[in-house]
Amino acid sequence: RAKKVIGIELNSVTDNPIVDYEDKRFLHGGNFHGEAIATVIDQLKIVLVKLTMLSERRIAFFLNHRTNRRFPPFLNLNTPGLTLALQGLQFVATSTTARSQTLAFPQSIHSISTNADNQDVVSMGTDAALVAAMVIEHAYIVLAIEMVTLSQAVDCAEIENKLSKDTRGLYRETRKHVPAIVEDISIAGNLEQLLQSLKRETAV
């Protein structure tokens, strides 16, 4: 829906006045208000925040041994208490999701009069787009962490050979960039590689 609305608006006439050369007319009250784009971008942003929240909750489920009652704490492949496993990644997922929740408030209902009050109710469409871009980036980060979490769960359960073809493909794509976490190591660079891979796969 967002793609459709934005496509219509980008291809519309937005001059004010519109000069109709053939009929020698000036049409005032042009369609220059960005409300349609601002509103649909805000809706897209809110949906992405909810997606991010769901992803973060799935991560939390797999890392909490008291909840899942199957896996070791934080999907630890070594010694819980001596190694952190995915604890650090969960902190990133949680804080990133929290920031997206803060950014979920719709920019399109903000308005500050400007231009000597000539522009009294403005769309804030540019701000909506800029904030939405941050939320999209956050969603990729949390989804990448979920992929690492699920891959670690596969390793804990030793069930790679039981995965479906598509799920095995996701697992192997994750493992191409991020190794199984056994010792406490920095995987910031690995996570960035996985992030870029996700972006390439989902490019429109």
Confidence (pLDDT) at 30:
58
pTM for the full predicted model: 0.87
Name the residue with tokens 């995915």.
86
pLDDT tens, position by position, 30-89: 566 788 899 999 999 999 999 999 999 999 999 999 999 999 999 999 999 899 999 999
Nearest to 125 by CA among 202, 184, 38, 58: 38
CA–CA distance, 37 with 25 (Å, rounded to integer): 28
Query: What is the C-alpha to C-alpha distance for residues 76 and 70, in angstroms, rounded to an integer?
Result: 12
Handedness of CA 42, 43, 47, 50 (dihedral sign): positive
- Count of C-beta atoms within a 10 Å radius of residue 202: 9
Q: With 0-12 CB in 10 A as exposed, 13-18 as middle and 19+ as buried, what is 65?
A: middle
3-class DSSP state of 20: strand
CA-to-CA separations, 150 to 6, 59, 147, 155, in angstroms, rounded: 35, 8, 5, 9
pLDDT of residue 161: 95
